[in-house]
Structure 1
């Protein structure tokens, strides 16, 4: 579509598409709606791929994954009212995860506003507390400028979501003859020399300095240089919750990475946060999940390096540097800082991480050969709590992770949503390259499958594996159809324990012997996958998993491996 200098006016809807092209957008995700038909018509002649999803939540999560993995804001298109409501979960996730996302929402015609028209709602009222910016396109001539500003806003400072309302009639109006606009350049602020010198002085005085990495934008160069620099100075590096791919876990020539914070963290990393006498937060504030509910590390000497303000930070702050964290890491890695850091403290942390991240199978209360009992439909009072099926066996997830560690490509992309199933890949699957993880920091279920589809489309040459719980999978598992339709080929492991395990675990601690509202009745996931034209196989033991995984990979299709898990096994131990 060429509307750089149109000889005649184009519609606002077509100009939106042309500006997205100029911004470098390669895919948009959405569920079609009559409220934005003119944008869809513009996409007909566009080089942008329109990925039609089966639910607006799936579209939003695919756009979220695109933003997380590529750095360019992911773009989703949904219709008014119900469509916008379904996409809201992705906006909240992008907000709490600090991920760039642009959501276009079709709206009712301007003359119908305020009359309770079909699917009318208050765009700013719904999204104003969650998005970085909410704007409605009422001037067709401003279409290109509004799009350029939205993509810039989503990426700049602390990244996040921007929502643009598109009135159905305004989209069809002539947008003038000015054409597209130059994309706005993105500033990557660097720390001043004086700020770097002050940080260097703090590091030199510390005995137990700790670096915490998180946020977006990490590269192989910034991550590798940081962990090598830190290793040479006996400074352990940990990651924020679900920022596990910020720095490499395994590289030659010295590595200081010692694990992650947040849910599923090892006891050794929580201890580091407690014991550090200096903590450098690069790209992530000391927030709720990282600090075990605002309880850990609040009083240590603290340096914050963030692209924007200190939103969500708890506890002490001694130095705040508003700068791009990966760029700061590169600057720090060229700094000739000498330290008196405790080598024994650092060495113990690294050894604990290596023990913690090495899968060692431990027999569960049900052995790997014990058949899964048949499950009767549960009444609200009975809550059966076992995976549905007869004659299948429980699979040791720790052993499965050992196979994946050995088989996955070095640059494989891992995705998962929220739930106890996520604790296994978070602990046992190393990240060796940046942009290799999509997982919700806000705890949203249903992210893993659409994220895996988007990752496979964005990086067709990379292996993509999603680990999904049975509850999490069914929230957006329909996007397997999108994978089949567009040639994506993620491999999905469905961990079936017949319950919402995270909530069941909380019930067991608070209301023992009274499970309520957590039982699940599941389909044959392998057969369900095959019905879409995907690869599907049920794995009945950890010993059979490797061959099943290799068959799934060799199929070249989207694949589902159905694994039954002992419902009494909640999580790996947190001890190293």
Structure 2
């Protein structure tokens, strides 16, 4: 006999989960107690806020492809964690959020911290459920992992009534699940090959979740053998080695005119696992609705994404890794060398380092980091215009990963960096953060200190919620309201949590500052002129 909580923990371990991020709560004390006896098998990282814990779990899922696990208490704990669930949904990251729930006999009385989790999380999760019978724990946990990883990956939410967790059960632990993955048919591959062979200006656009390392390598091999230009989706730059002659940039905010021209002039776009979201399509204006002018073959791991916005010429439901592995066998006779050269030249021209008004030039700093970073460094960021700099000027590849929120969630970068350190303590982890962005989750400095998981944090301090300020000036010129920030002393904050600190007031100081913190982790504060709001864009 065992308690339901003990069985639950054993099921997590059986599914190969090795870390939990969470804030302890009385509603799941039974689980915390069960974890006490499993310390060697699964680690509980105590965070300072449920939002930080959920961001960590989302980042874990995005990086590993296995569900990140988060535990929070009922009511406020669950609502605090919702930002990570929303990020996991928009970013297609496998994640499971466990919520300690009120006792089953207290439902629908507006008990202390009671929430209807199906109603609250339903629109932003793949599946929301509650375990009322301890004998169903193995079944529901297996289904949760399967749901989080199948098709388009995403979050699952499970409520755990505290009285249920204390009950006993004789159920046994099931083996690890296996995931079914859709494959393209021979006809699908033939359709792609024929379309490419008849094209004169083809493009490949890639993105989404569910890629593995071999899939990334096969993608590059196929693109390079066929000499087809590749565009990566928003915050998916690490799907393709940026030094490859076939890489021509990411379809993000502030697309270059050269990229827009390539997309407009292409006569065939092979879209692999990229959903047609707002950022990638510039608010659905890059392509005509509902039927694009360009011929588009859209492949995606989830059939729900095919025909969802655009009615393309061909829709193929396939796992991206399986698709690109089969495309390697296609014999594509390249007839577009001039087109490829035009696209790559446009990419290079768009990456010329701009001058800045302020003494700190973020583009030059990113250019320096290309030589300073380890090849397997992991880069994280939250949300804000500051992220455009490294997205544009840092080089990514299959080993140098980017973990960043496509949901636009401010504060995601620093918890994500801690999560990366918990997975790979010896690897370089660099977090880019705006001053406002960092302060949304800087309480997780305590988590980093307690667990000795210290990344390098580069703070862009321009004394403003800069992205909103930019839009404000565009719509309400000379009427600055609510977007200015009076920031704390970041040096004092760093020292309080045992982080080294370096201040950079001019570009020439950066290399020395980075070298001082690169080994043990630390915070580098960049003094940024608010007028340098983004590459080639100035305020005022």
TM-score between the two structures when normalised by the length of structure 2: 0.95
Which residue of 2 is the match for residue 268 of structure 1? 258
**Alignment partner of 2:305: what SS?**
coil
Looking at structure 2, the residues matched to 434 and 309 of structure 1 have their Cα atoms a distance apart, in angstroms, of 29
Query: Is there any run of 5+ residues in structure 1 with no aligned partner, and where?
Result: 1-8, 369-394
Alignment of 1:69-108 (within 5 A): 69-108=63-102
Which residue of 2 is the match for residue 333 of structure 1? 328
1:157 aligns with 2:151: yes
- Does the Cα contact within 8 Å between 1:17 and 1:42 map onto a contact in 2? yes
Deviation at 1:188, TM superposition (A): 2.3
Indicate which of 33, 39, 45 corresponds to 2:31: 39
- Does the Cα contact within 8 Å between 2:91 and 2:209 map onto a contact in 1? no
- Does the Cα contact within 8 Å between 1:80 and 1:107 map onto a contact in 2? yes
Indicate which of 287, 290, 295 corresponds to 1:297: 287
**Alignment partner of 1:238: what SS?**
strand
Looking at structure 2, the residues matched to 139 and 256 of structure 1 have their Cα atoms a distance apart, in angstroms, of 54
**Alignment partner of 1:562: what SS?**
strand
Deviations 1:3-37 (A, max 9, x none): xxxxxx11111111101101110100000000001
Deviations 1:351-376 (A, max 9, x none): 22233335x25141x4x2xxxxxxxx
- Does the Cα contact within 8 Å between 2:375 and 2:400 map onto a contact in 1? no
Deviations 1:208-231 (A, max 9, x none): 111011112334433233233323
Looking at structure 1, the residues matched to 191 and 367 of structure 2 have their Cα atoms a distance apart, in angstroms, of 43
Which residue of 2 is the match for residue 573 of structure 1? 536
The Cα RMSD (Å) is: 1.5
Deviation at 1:432, TM superposition (A): 1.7
Indicate which of 7, 21, 29 corresponds to 1:29: 21
Looking at structure 1, the residues matched to 155 and 212 of structure 2 have their Cα atoms a distance apart, in angstroms, of 22
- Does the Cα contact within 8 Å between 2:219 and 2:324 map onto a contact in 1? yes
Which residue of 2 is the match for residue 140 of structure 1? 134
The 10-residue stretch of structure 1 (322-331 or 440-449) with the greater mean CA deviation from structure 2: 322-331
- Does the Cα contact within 8 Å between 1:301 and 1:316 map onto a contact in 2? no
- Does the Cα contact within 8 Å between 1:206 and 1:339 map onto a contact in 2? no
Indicate which of 230, 234, 250 corresponds to 1:237: 230
- Does the Cα contact within 8 Å between 2:237 and 2:396 map onto a contact in 1? yes
**Alignment partner of 2:386: what SS?**
helix
1:324 aligns with 2:296: no
Which residue of 2 is the match for residue 389 of structure 1? none
Which residue of 2 is the match for residue 543 of structure 1? 508
1:433 aligns with 2:398: yes
**Alignment partner of 2:70: what SS?**
strand
Looking at structure 1, the residues matched to 105 and 214 of structure 2 have their Cα atoms a distance apart, in angstroms, of 53
Looking at structure 2, the residues matched to 526 and 396 of structure 1 have their Cα atoms a distance apart, in angstroms, of 21
Number of aligned residue pairs: give it. 530
Alignment of 1:106-125 (within 5 A): 106-125=100-119
Looking at structure 2, the residues matched to 12 and 335 of structure 1 have their Cα atoms a distance apart, in angstroms, of 52
**Alignment partner of 1:245: what SS?**
helix
Looking at structure 2, the residues matched to 132 and 490 of structure 1 have their Cα atoms a distance apart, in angstroms, of 31
Looking at structure 2, the residues matched to 349 and 314 of structure 1 have their Cα atoms a distance apart, in angstroms, of 26
**Alignment partner of 1:16: what SS?**
helix
Indicate which of 408, 415, 433 corresponds to 2:380: 415
Indicate which of 512, 522, 533 corresponds to 2:487: 522
Which residue of 2 is the match for residue 485 of structure 1? 450
Looking at structure 1, the residues matched to 324 and 399 of structure 2 have their Cα atoms a distance apart, in angstroms, of 14
Deviation at 1:63, TM superposition (A): 0.2
Which residue of 1 is the match for residue 300 of structure 2? 306
Indicate which of 350, 354, 362 corresponds to 1:356: 350
Looking at structure 1, the residues matched to 24 and 219 of structure 2 have their Cα atoms a distance apart, in angstroms, of 45
Deviation at 1:175, TM superposition (A): 2.0
- Does the Cα contact within 8 Å between 1:283 and 1:305 map onto a contact in 2? yes
Looking at structure 2, the residues matched to 315 and 338 of structure 1 have their Cα atoms a distance apart, in angstroms, of 29
- Does the Cα contact within 8 Å between 1:246 and 1:434 map onto a contact in 2? no
Deviation at 1:245, TM superposition (A): 0.9
